[in-house]
Structure 1
Amino acid sequence: MGAQTEETDTKQMWLVERTYSDDEQNIVILVYASEDGQFYHRRERALTSFTGEHRVTHAALDVPASKYGPVTDPDEREQYATEAKRMAATHDPDDQV
């Protein structure tokens, strides 16, 4: 068996948080996390980019290893795990949320 490449080393991440940026107007921050809460992926979007088919927000994403990081805060890890499990139980990954 060979080493996995970045393209094949992915984790499924579920939407766990959607907030507005404090620093800039019209920026929405989307946070996705693994079901165990150990890893997260963050995206920022202009509020105006939420229109149109190509900019839908999916319940889950498959995120390459280079695009996610560890969740170091234990409380945040527990919160993310709880929300990711809830999303996984109530949505298909491709659901628009």
Structure 2
Amino acid sequence: MTEDDATAETGDDGDGETVRCWLVERTFDDRNLVTLVYATPDGDRYRRKERSAASLGGDAAATAAVDLPTDALEPVTDAATRERYASEAARVADSHEPDEPI
């Protein structure tokens, strides 16, 4: 992994700046929904997505990382959560390719 990968800045995609976010949390509920949380490598910002468990198969599988517009991310306000997200993002980045299904 390069320093650029670790900082996760991917530049301009035509619609604005994007940042690489890593899967840091995945939960399942009793309604057959999966909540995926992707966070920036520093744990400062995140994006939460809910998807049907059935939709996660095949080409729609959750990947280790996604590139998201910076304006689509929410701030992490809790210090403990920020540290946990940063630690998990580093772990996932070290053990998976960004487009690898996990």
Relative contact order higher in (CA < 8 Å, ≥ 6 apart): 1
Q: Structure 1 residue aligned with 2:40, among 34, 43, 54?
A: 34
Structure 1: which 4+ aligned runs deviate by more than 2 Å? 4-8
1:46 aligns with 2:52: yes
- Unaligned runs of 5+ residues in structure 1 are none
Match of 2:26 in 1: 18
1:56 CA drift (Å): 1.4
Structure 1 distance, partners of 2:14, 2:41, is 20
Gaps of 5+ in 2: 1-11
Tell me what 2:67 maps to.
62
Is the 8 Å Cα contact of residues 6 and 66 (structure 1) preserved in structure 2? no
Q: Secondary structure at the match of 1:37?
A: coil
Q: Which amino acid aligns with 1:15?
A: L
For 2:100, the equivalent position in structure 1 comes to 95
**Amino acid in structure 1 at the alignment position of 2:49:** R
Give me the identity figure in percent. 44
Q: Is the Cα–Cα contact under 8 Å of residues 32 and 42 in structure 1 kept in the other structure?
A: yes
Alignment counterpart, residue 86 of structure 2, candidates 63, 67, 81: 81
Alignment partners' CA distance in 2, 1:41 and 1:89: 20
C-alpha distance in 2 between matches for 1:69 and 1:42 = 9
